[in-house]
Structure 1
Amino acid sequence: MQFDFNSPEPIFIQVATQIEDAIFTGAFQEGSQVPSTTEISQQFKINPATVLKGMNQLVDHNLLEKRRGRGTFVKSGAQEIIIKNRQEHFYHDYILNLINESKKLHLSEDDILTLVKRGYDNEQDRN
């Protein structure tokens, strides 16, 4: 984990985002225990209340669960929740903008699909 203390993004959000990314990439497997609030706060010199706030955000989003006396664990199904959330954000952040811009450029649906296919083909050629 790395934190940018000069970022306008609050540290607790950075904590939540980095733990979520670790779940998404499989670094924290479903059912596994995540580092404790104390471990994270000591390792990165962050206020424990700040770390707790970030972790509680993930508990509220059903990605983590607290087990009394045992710690905090990645919930079953957490990775799928993250994927669905990111797909929805992708739709709103990219697809809707793509459609709006394509209408301004008088591009048809077929034109867009052709451009997307061309992008995929070009990417495969680079790899």
Structure 2
Amino acid sequence: MTTQWQADKPIYLQLYQQVVGRILDGYIQEGEALPSVRKVAAQYQVNPITISKAYQMLQDENIVEKQRGKGLYVKNGAQEIMLVREREAFLKEQWPAILQQIKRLKLKPETLLTTGDSL
């Protein structure tokens, strides 16, 4: 996770997004424990309440579950739930602007599909 925080976005939200990204990318597996609030707070020199707020968002979204005396664990099926949610958000919020730019530049689908291979 990053230690560079964006000034225009609350840290708890950035932390939440980083954890979601790490789960989606497979760096944090289903069934795996999240680092403790104290450990993350000490590592990034952030108030533990900030970490707790991010973790609470994950619990509220049913992505992680608290195991009494053990900590927070990524729930089975969490990655699929997040993939569905992130895909829907992308198609609703980001895709329209991307599609508009593709049309403006008169890019062909085959160009788009082969361009990514060379990056």
TM-score by length of 1: 0.80
> 1:50: which partner in 2?
50
RMSD over aligned Cα atoms: 2.2
Shift of 1:77: 0.7
C-alpha separation in 1, matches of 2:93 and 2:6? 25
Equivalences for 1:1-127 in 2 at 5 Å? Answer: 1-98=1-98, 101=100, 115-124=108-117, 126=118
Shift of 1:33: 0.6
Cα distance 1:38–1:98, how it changes in 2: closer, same or farther (>3 A)? Answer: closer
C-alpha separation in 1, matches of 2:8 and 2:24? 24
**Where does structure 1 lack aligned partners over 5 or more consecutive residues?**
106-110
Aligned to 2:108, the other structure's residue is in SS state helix
Shift of 1:53: 0.1
Aligned to 2:62, the other structure's residue is in SS state coil
The runs of 4+ residues in structure 1 deviating greater than 6 Å are: none
**Where does structure 2 lack aligned partners over 5 or more consecutive residues?**
none
Larger Rg: 1
Aligned to 1:23, the other structure's residue is in SS state helix
TM-score by length of 2: 0.85
Shift of 1:65: 0.7
Kept in 2, the 8 Å contact 1:3–1:11? The answer is: no
C-alpha separation in 2, matches of 1:11 and 1:56? 14
C-alpha separation in 2, matches of 1:98 and 1:6? 24
Kept in 2, the 8 Å contact 1:37–1:48? The answer is: yes
C-alpha separation in 1, matches of 2:34 and 2:83? 19
Shift of 1:117: 2.5
Kept in 2, the 8 Å contact 1:3–1:14? The answer is: no
Shift of 1:43: 1.0
Instruction: Report % sequence identity.
Output: 30
